[in-house]
Chain A
Amino acid sequence: MIANAGQFLLFLAKLFSNREKFRVYAQLILDECVLIGVDSIFIVVIISTFIGGVTAIQTAHSLTSPFVPLYIIGVICRDMTVLELAPTFTGVILAGKIGSSIAGNIGTMRITEQIDALEVMGINSASYLVLPKIIAGMIMFPLLTVVAGFLSLYGGFLASVLTGILKSDEYIYGIRYQFESENVLFALLKALIFGFLITSISAYQGYITKGGSLEVGKASTNAVTNSCIAVLIADYVVAQLLMS
């Protein structure tokens, strides 16, 4: 465990030693932004909209006291979405989608000697392959989190209004009630950290792959498992640090 953590840190250090000129990375970062961001929008849209709807319905179901005003459903939806569901749920979803893709891609390059080919050309393979993914992840995860947040709140709105739980103006009043804008910054900071963790852990798992196609599959599984664990631990640590 400690040895693995040490190797992971050495791997991160390798990304910045003897790297290529920045112009080499510019196009790669754009390509990765498309792969990580644009290609993930569909799943983020679907999941966040439904999660928002489910949150609203379940909150309404739990609020049975007549002394609690209905707009509180909107308040709870907003705080859950902004502080937790949008960044963390998006992180866990993308750990599965992006993490397995990165580990599989780099793992296959490793076992088919494509990484060796880069090294023989005098190119820092870790930096060339991984750094653009990490930078793209740190750019796109916050953007996807913003999209997820909006759609989750909209999903809550749709579910509340269409099922008649509360009126649209009550929901809107709720999501605007005592709104603290720093919470959005917390969410974006979390997303930034999750973006770094998921892309770097997954890339590391792919990069250290040895053997054949079976090991590439294992690397993908490890990437998803380790990324999810890292996201949840980071979520707790960031919440503890920022909320205390």
Chain B
Amino acid sequence: MIEIAHISKSFKGNQVLIDISATFEKGKTNLIIGASGTGKSVLLKNIVGLMQPDAGTIQYDGRIFNEGEAENVKSIRREMGMLFQGSALFDSKNVEDNIKFPLDLLTKTSDEEKLDRVNLCLHRVGLENVNKLFPSELSGGMKKRVGIARAIVLNPKYLFCDEPNSGLDPQTSIRIDNLIKEITDEYNTTTVIVTHDMNSVMEIGERIVFLYKGRKLWEGDNKTIIHSNVEELDNFIFANKLMRDLKGGMK
């Protein structure tokens, strides 16, 4: 479980996150949603330690992360896996070496064991015979899958995904969402996903935090979200015609 309390962050006087508190539960897909520019990615970067909050605390299963000692922070980081928006695969390494990279650096397993683990992860994300391909030879969806395979190769306790559906067609998006959900159930990870994709919200939003102009305005799940009385959240959910029609149908 990840607990964040009273997180604030500003850039050159511009307040991007204002007193945000939330809990992300173990074994669930926790979504941070909101329109573009509301601070979702900044919040995620604070949670994983790529940015330091101006105020507030971040705890991983009771261990303070943002104010801890370097070794403690390092050990928590080694329990994390992250899928980046652009996948962030290393251009100079092929698929196999990309996934093997954390094993090479952070473990002492033998080469055969590493290769077995790489192939297992690739199989898990539905990719076969791509070991020797380079990132430039992969499609957007394949890059995301390789990114997920790299994120889970060390059996992480915490899985983070930054806009996992960006740039993907609807079908591939759903596949990636389902894959993240399956992995969360299988590995019992605390999964935190930043998204503004309503399909994801409705499909895998077991726990949802809605941000608006740097503040948390609502917290709930995909069953209660459409019944919320928060005007800003309503405007976000029912921004497109299909959702408005659906809402009309429900009424």
Where the two chains meet, the residues of A that have a C-beta atom closer than 8 Å to any C-beta of B are: 17-18, 20, 24, 108-109, 112-114, 116-117, 119-123
Contact = CB atoms under 8 A, between A and B. Distances in A.
A122 B74 contact: yes
Given A18-B70, A20-B105, A122 B84 contact: no
Given A18-B70, A20-B105, A121 B88 contact: no
A18 B69 CA distance: 11
Interface string B109-132: 000000000000000000000000
B106 A122 contact: yes
A75 to B, nearest CB: 47
Nearest 7 Cβ contacts at the A-B interface: A122-B77, A113-B88, A117-B88, A122-B78, A113-B84, A120-B82, A122-B74
Interface residues of B, number: 23
Given A114-B89, A122-B106, 20 more contacts: A20-B105, A24-B105, A108-B91, A113-B84, A114-B88, A116-B50, A116-B88, A117-B82, A117-B84, A117-B90, A120-B49, A120-B160, A121-B101, A121-B105, A121-B106, A122-B74, A122-B75, A122-B77, A122-B78, A122-B80
B49 A119 contact: yes
Contacts of A20: 105
Interface string B39-68: 000000100111000000000000000000
Given A24-B105, A113-B86, A120 B77 contact: yes
A17 B49 CA distance: 17
Contacts of B77: 119-122
B180 to A, nearest CB: 16
10 contacts: A17-B70, A113-B85, A113-B86, A114-B90, A114-B91, A116-B50, A120-B48, A121-B78, A122-B78, A122-B106
A180 to B, nearest CB: 45
Contacts of A112: 86, 88, 91
Interface of B: 45, 48-50, 70, 74-75, 77-78, 80, 82, 84-86, 88-91, 101-102, 105-106, 160
A69 B208 CA distance: 88
A112 B105 CA distance: 21
B86 A120 contact: no
A116 B88 CA distance: 8
A123 B86 CA distance: 20
A109 B160 CA distance: 20
A18 B88 CA distance: 23
B50 A123 contact: no
A137 to B, nearest CB: 19
Nearest to A119: B50
B88 to A, nearest CB: 4
Nearest to A123: B105
Contacts of B84: 113, 116-117
B105 A120 contact: no
Contacts of B75: 122
A108 B91 CA distance: 10
